[in-house]
Structures are given as structure tokens and as C-alpha cells.
Structure 1
Amino acid sequence: MRQLVFVLLLLAPCIASAQARNTALDGLDGANEALVWQAVGRLDADDVGFCTATLIAPELVLTAAHCVYSSRTGNLLEADDLTFRAGLRHGTSAAERKVSQIEAHPGYDPARGVEAQNIRHDVALLKLASPIPTHVLDPFVLYQGRFAKGPVSVVSYGRGRAELPSRQAVCRMFDQYKGVVLMDCDVTFGSSGAPVFSHRNGRGQIISVISSVGYYDGRKTSFGMVLPNLVADLKRQMRANASRPLADAKRITVNGSARRTSTDGGAKFVRPGGS
């Protein structure tokens, strides 16, 4: 029987491929090449580290839910501790905004660690303190078609490439297991929240978000989720919570007796210096 084994994002060699030159990570160092992907950015958390995130509307950013919780306490991070740096390259951003509201999907439970139920709900939506106009950055849209196996690409930041986005132009989405999407894309610390793009309809459309890596049928696999319904849930949640007084906002606190997996203390964010 084939089994899924999930672990947090760890440093590991990329999967061997007969088309190594196509699956390699390429740093987007050229200005023209980077321009296409500037709506992908680095999500920095004060004194914690970073994840990858993507602009999907002038005021909305998509990332992984585990990126908005403290790996030390299990608490939801403060919105004003988060900064989205779109298209960050060598210290310069195409646009930079603070975050004013965080909505993690209610199906994600930080106390449960890395498991299928969490991965299929590992999505968060962030509202920016002020919108990024479309004449500055063109947001990416979600792929609305049916799930289909085939080639995808990933744009992400990560350990050792914190100051420059990298793109894996061709990797493969090869299966789906109860809402968990399985891919052979090369990811590492900091790649959490990275957009997975389908290119079936011209400009890339976001088909999933990187959650974690692990093993499936004995081979290293990256895991994501099926997005459209989750993002629709988060938009409704964001509208509902925006109308509540700030004092009514509740935080999730994980007590010391909560069961955690052995990898739960791993880096969900990675510091820009790679520590």
C-alpha cells in the first residue's frame, strides 16, 4: 500500500530527473525575467524569519496557514508584525506593505502538526494595510479548472536564496490524495506558502500553495492543497471578521500539553541569514 509521510520543510537534495536542466531552480536575477513574477514576494515576520506569499488582489496576499503562527508558542502572529515585500531582489522590493488582518483557514490546527488534515487546509489570506495598485503590480489569479496531473512551476524564496526569488520552471503535479496535492517540486526552508502555477491558459494561474515536504511511495514529495473553495472560505471569513471590533478578536493558544509531532519545532519561517 502506498503511504503518505509528512515532514516539515527540510534541506534535502532535489529529486533526480532525466531532465535536470528543466527541473533546476533558477534565480530570477535578470530584471526582465523577474518582472513577470513580481507579485510573488517574501513575507517577513519580525524576529521570526520569512515565508513566500503571493498577491492575488490589490489588497490580498495568499500564503500557508502555518506561516502565520509562531512555531515557538503556537499563537497566531500579530498582523502588524508581518510585512509583504513583493518581488524582493537584492534588498529592493517592487512594493512593500504591512499586513492589517490575518485569516487562517479554520480547518488548520497548529496543535496537530504536519498531517493530511492540516495540509489540505494549510492556507491563509492576509489583508494589506493599503492596496498595491494594479498599475504597480498585476495580481495572480487562482486556477478554477478541474484538478489535472501535469507540469507546473513554483516561484519561491528559501534558505540560501533569501534575497532573490527562484523559479523551478518545470516540475510535476502527479497525484491527489483526499484534497492533498502531490508534486515533485524542489522546496526548502522559506518555500512554505510559495505559489504553484499552472500554465494551461497563458499567464500562470495559482493551482496550489506549498505546505510541506515528505515521502510518497518511497520518494521525496512536496505537498499542497486544492485552493478555490478554501480561498472562498477565507474571503468570507475576512469580511465577517473585519466588521468586528478589534477587542473581540480571539487568538488560538496551544497549551503545553497539546500533542505535537517530533518535527513541530522545525522552522516554518527561515531567517534571511539562513539560520
Structure 2
Amino acid sequence: MMRVFLSITLLVSILVTAAQAQTSSKRRLTDRDDLYGWEAVGRLDIGEQGFCTGTLIAKDIVLTAAHCAVSKATGKPYAPGELTFRAGLSDGQALADREVIQIATHPDFVANAPVSASRVRIDVALMRLEEPIPYSIADPFALHSGRVSDSEISVASYGRGRAEAITRQRSCRILQRGQGLISFDCDITFGSSGSAILAKKGPRWQILSVVSAGASDGQRKIGYGMELSGIVSELKAILRRDAPRPTATIRRLQPGSAKSSSGAKFLSAGGS
């Protein structure tokens, strides 16, 4: 897998322009019925610079690519408020908009490093949202565990020419898998970076990988992602370690009041 990966000419780190192949298997999700089950996929707006795709894996945690989370200008993760996750965005209306307040990436990820097998393996980021998105609005996806029963996978993403609604490709295929890398033939383009590669397990799709980079072998487009189980566990630990501390507030009681504004009752000396 390593030799195959390195022998293919990598074109860009954000992904190659989409070809017209496999259009029959793609569907644009625009109304509420279409979005059912895919509400956890959202467009990740990077200020005025562009966008990627992200996917909820918890009510307040988004999974995406690290190169969508780290500024090339500074080499550091974007500051709180610079990124906005727009769950289920469709033609200008999102089911929920949330600012990103915390980002975790692998300590060895370098924003301006050339695309390589080692970089793809750690091109993963977790983002904490300012406020959870209720399950009633979007049901997060689980990470895939165990073996994939066949090579069929799916991807739901935003991208150039399809930036205003999720486009779901119902069926594409794993080409190769090994040494922490996964290659696939899904129709990805600029903006698809960070989108989840999904494999079916029982009745639900689960996240197998994240779109990191694209290439061409002269006949077809090839996308690349990584194995997730180890690095996601590491990034969750970083999020917990560096989680923003809650801000304490002090409420003033009015003289003679037996209650705080929160409704808590206080006991006076000698009994209630």
C-alpha cells in the first residue's frame, strides 16, 4: 500500500477537482426528508477563506481533517470563533449553526508540510462546539469498528459546485487498505476535505475514515484517508485535557431575600 500511495502523483492537499464520473450514484440532499439521517453532516466555514466538510460524532464534537483546522499562515489551529459548523446546511438554511471553540490535532501535524503517507495518517481533527446540537436535530455518527464486510462505501459532503447542499454518493469503493491508509474511488472535490467515508454496519452507516487528499493515476481520481480508531482516541484525550474551563458567575442576593435568582433556598440560623 505504501509503494502504491507514493507512486501516484498527488495533485493537491485539499483534493482534486471533481470529474463527471459516477454522477448517477450521487444525490443532492435539499429537503427535510432527503436530509433524514444525514443531519450530522455539516459545512465547516473557515471565515471568508473557504470551507470543508465535518461530521458530528457527539452532540458537541465534530470530526474533520486537520488541514481544515490549522491555519497555513500561522501553523496553529484556528482561534475560537474563526470556524463555524453548519449542520445539514441546505440552500442557505442550516439546522443548527455553532461556532468552534476548541480544536485538537496531532502534535506532529504540520500545516504547510507536503502531502505524504505519514501526513495523511494524522490528517484528523476534532472540534468542540460552543453549544451541543440536540439529538432531536442531528444524530451523531459512530466510528466504524471491526471488519468491513465488502468494499462498498459512501460519502456525504459539500464541495465546489455543490457548496449549498450535501451531496451524497451512495456507492463508491475501497481500492486498497493497509499500513494505516485507505484509498477509494469516491467522487470528491475542493471542499470535500474532512468529509466522512462511511461503511455500513447493520442498519446504519458508520465512519470508517476521513477524506484527506486526492490524486490521479491518469485514468481516474483516487481519494485517500486514514484509519481512525487510534488517532481519534488520542484527540479525545487532548480535548478533555485542554477543555475550556467553565466561567464562574456570582449572583447578588437582595437584602432580606430567602432565594437566589436560581431558585435555591437558603436556611437561616435557628431553622428554616
Report the TM-score range of the alignment, normalised by the length of the smaller protein.
0.7 to 0.9
Work out which of the residue numbers 11, 36, 41 in structure 1 matches 2:17: 11
Q: What aligned pairs does 1:223-242 form with structure 2 within 5 A after superposition?
A: 223-242=224-243
* TM-score (structure 1 length as normaliser): 0.81
In 2, are the aligned partners of 1:44 and 1:50 still within 8 Å (CA)? yes
In 2, are the aligned partners of 1:10 and 1:189 still within 8 Å (CA)? yes
Bigger RCO of structures 1 and 2 (CA < 8 A, at least 6 apart): 1
**Correspondence for 2:62:** 61
Superposed displacement of residue 110, structure 1 = 1.7
**Correspondence for 2:88:** 87
Q: What aligned pairs does 1:2-81 form with structure 2 within 5 A after superposition?
A: 2=4, 3-8=7-12, 9-15=15-21, 21-22=24-25, 25-81=26-82
Identity %: 43
Contiguous gaps of at least 5 residues in structure 2? 247-272
**Correspondence for 1:271:** none
AA aligned to 1:5 is: T
CA distance in 2, matches of 1:5, 1:119: 14
**Correspondence for 2:258:** none
User: Greater shift after overlay, 195-204 or 83-92?
Assistant: 195-204
DSSP-derived class of the 1:143 partner: coil
Superposed displacement of residue 218, structure 1 = 6.5
Superposed displacement of residue 73, structure 1 = 4.4
Superposed displacement of residue 217, structure 1 = 9.0
Contiguous gaps of at least 5 residues in structure 1? 246-275
**Correspondence for 1:268:** none
CA distance in 2, matches of 1:54, 1:38: 9
DSSP-derived class of the 1:96 partner: strand
In 2, are the aligned partners of 1:149 and 1:175 still within 8 Å (CA)? no
AA aligned to 2:17 is: L
Q: What aligned pairs does 1:135-214 form with structure 2 within 5 A after superposition?
A: 135-146=136-147, 150-214=151-215
AA aligned to 2:124 is: V
DSSP-derived class of the 2:24 partner: helix
In 1, are the aligned partners of 2:75 and 2:110 still within 8 Å (CA)? no
AA aligned to 2:39 is: Q
Superposed displacement of residue 202, structure 1 = 1.2
CA distance in 1, matches of 2:220, 2:173: 14
Superposed displacement of residue 40, structure 1 = 0.2
Superposed displacement of residue 33, structure 1 = 1.6
DSSP-derived class of the 1:111 partner: coil
Superposed displacement of residue 102, structure 1 = 0.6
Deviations 1:101-132 (A, max 9, x none): 01112242223221111111110000011111
**What is the number of residues matched between the two proteins?**
240
The structure-2 alpha-carbon separation of the partners of 1:73 and 1:243, relative to structure 1 and needing over 3 Å to count, comes to closer
Superposed displacement of residue 133, structure 1 = 1.6
